Amino acid sequence: MSRDFDKDLVSIQEARRLIDRCHGAQEKFLDFSQEQVDRVCKAMADAAYQASERLGRMANEETGYGVPKHKTLKNQLASRGVWESIQDIRTVGVLREDPARGVVEIGWPMGVVAALSPSTNPTSTLIHNTLIAVKARNGIVNAPHPSAWKCCGEAAKRMAAAGESAGMPSGLVGCMSAVSLPGARELMRHEKTAVILATGGSDMVRAAHSMGKPAYGVGPGNVPCYVDRSADVQAAASLIVSSKSFDNSVICATEQAVVADRPIAAGLRAEMERLGAFFVDPDQADALARTLFFPNGAINPRSVGQTPQSLGRMAGISIPDRARILVAPLDKVGPDEPLSREKLTTVLGWYEADGWQAGCDRCIDMILFGGRGHSLVIHAADEEVIMAFGLKKPVFRLLVNTMGALGSVGVTTGLMPALTLGSGGIGGAISGDNITTTHLLNIKRVARQIKAPPAGALVEGAATLPSAPLNAGDLDPAELAKVIRAVIEELARHGIS
């Protein structure tokens, strides 16, 4: 007990020290120009990109989750991909001017960002969060998952060193090494913390939202994948198997169940089997359910990000070597069917529905059971069906004819490249966007008077002259003469000739 208590105290103290240091550095960073900020961010993005492979390997070795080469690709997205998406966004000084409205917009940072990274995507999330925070002239202190503190510490160290070499104040980018729940809580609720980025499990996201700070919380995504009778079945099968096996399915927008339109279901199954999908029987599905989830419905962390063969060994069932994913036919959604939950591993549910309306209803069942506001994948050529899904589904990412794992984060779609995916109000979040630098940027507005106040709002005897010059070109001659007469009369009333 005393050792845990000491560890918690060390973690709390580290959080306070890093926040204080970051706050001081961020006040210095306020004076940086756009060019200086961009030089720092580019240096950090380049350093993270160059270390992508090593960091991916470290993340896999430390957590035991996923596939090293796929983690490398995610690190490359989080570094170069994210930087290329934000490099031309202005965040310093005057951002926009609207002369017609008399408004000038000025960029302003939020302050110190407390960012929590998950064990499933540790280094890529940290790289992404650091770049989008610093681009908006914020400081950031990262709190990695306790099982991923070494790889996250290495990523933060490399980025901080590169940024400081480019002129960034020391301490602007920090990362906790003595990680504990009390330490993470101290980081989030510290008086100098301005905003929280929380990517991970439901408990952590709820904790972030309870701190009395603005928080971007990203919860679970129980993502359904509907395959319509109008779909290219071969293409759909290829994308589904590839996506579900990518990094052993640890990205929260990865497909969790296929909902197959009945006329194409048999063909889709056959093509998925050809590509490495192993369909389990009911007894094997029950064994997998007991392996993936505890009786209370909580996910077994040992099952996360594992290959089918590893899951088979854990469940005591035989899985062929060629299997890339496991598929369990299901007929209901809810607590009585554990495999209808989000599965952060290579197990996919399978439903059949006759027609897109029935498929739509099944998808909504899944979303409401555990993925409100997150994402949905649809494979179809019928634009009316696609738009019907877009209009009806309570999600903020509808991914069409692409991989859920990569389409959601902006690799194969035009969405903003991001490792932090908002689930909107319906999902308990303040944004449904892919979170980027503009979400960590405040806007100051300089607003000039462009219309004279109503006469009834002025004290008796006050001048009613417009305080902003009028553009004569905007008035017709009669209106212009009327304005001039009113000005002359007002001047005369005050004894000015």
Does the structure show a pLDDT above 60 at 475?
no
59 touches 247 (CB < 8 A): no
State the Cα–Cα distance between residues 53 and 70, nearest whole angstrom: 9
The domain ranges of the chain are 2-219+437-444, 223-411, 452-493
Pick the residue with more confidence: 444 or 477? 444
Q: What tokens appear for 74 in the block?
A: 């995610």
Which ranges of 217-355 would DSSP assign to H, the alpha helix? 233-245, 262-274, 282-292, 308-315
Domains 2-219+437-444 and 223-411 share a fold: no
**pLDDT for 477:** 55
Q: Give 472's pLDDT tier (boundaries 50, 70, 90).
A: very low
| Whether pLDDT at 468 is above 70 | no
Segment 296-311 shows an average pLDDT of 96
Average pLDDT, the chain: 92
Interval 30-79: pLDDT, tens: 999 999 999 999 999 999 999 999 999 999 999 999 999 999 999 999 99
Q: Are the C-beta atoms of residues 254 and 246 closer than 8 Å to each other?
A: yes
Helices assigned H by DSSP within 247-307: 262-274, 282-292
Range with the lowest mean pLDDT among 161-175, 251-265, 473-487? 473-487
**Looking at residue 371, what is its pLDDT?**
86
The 3-state DSSP class for residue 420 equals coil
H or E segment at 390?
A: helix 383-392
Nearest Cα residue to 350 out of 332, 376, 329, 366: 329
**Candidate CATH numbers 3.40.50.300, 3.90.340.10, 1.10.260.40, 3.40.309.10; the one for domain 223-411:** 3.40.309.10
pLDDT at residue 9 in the model: 94
Give me the pLDDT at residue 95, please: 96
Q: How many CA atoms lie within 13 A of 394 on its CB side?
A: 18
Residue 137: which of 174, 112, 155 has the closest Cα?
112
Average of per-residue pLDDT across 414-429: 90
Q: What is the pTM of this model?
A: 0.89
pLDDT at 473: 47
d(CA 193, CA 434) in angstroms, rounded, equals 22
pLDDT tens digits for 129-150? 999 999 999 999 999 999 999 9
Higher pLDDT, 218 or 373: 373
Count of other CB atoms within 10 angstroms of residue 25: 19
Q: Residue 379 forms beta bridges with which residues?
A: 227
Query: Which residues belong to the active site?
Result: 252
Does 3 score more than 70 pLDDT? no
Question: In this predicted structure, which of 84-88, 205-209, 477-481 has the lowest mean pLDDT?
Answer: 477-481
pLDDT band at 1 (very low <50, low <70, confident <90, very high): very low
- Write b or e for each residue in 335-348: b if 16 or more Cβ atoms lie within 10 A of its Cβ, otherwise e: eebbbbbbbbbbbb
Q: What is the pLDDT of residue 494?
A: 53
The span from the CA of 44 to the CA of 433, in Å, is 24
First to last CA, the chain: 87
Kindly state which CATH superfamily the domain 2-219+437-444 is placed in: Aldehyde Dehydrogenase; Chain A, domain 1 (3.40.605.10)
Quote the pLDDT of residue 248.
Answer: 97
**What are the tens digits of pLDDT across the range 326-363?**
999 999 999 999 999 999 999 999 999 999 999 999 99
At 347, the amino acid letter reads V
pLDDT value of residue 467:
53
Query: Given pLDDT bands bounded at 50, 70 and 90, which one contains residue 479?
Result: low
CA 496 to each of CA 33, 437, 490, 492, 493: distance values in angstroms, whole numbers, following the listed order = 47, 53, 9, 5, 7
Per the model's pLDDT, the better-predicted residue between 162 and 100 turns out to be 162
Q: In this predicted structure, what is the pLDDT of residue 470?
A: 46
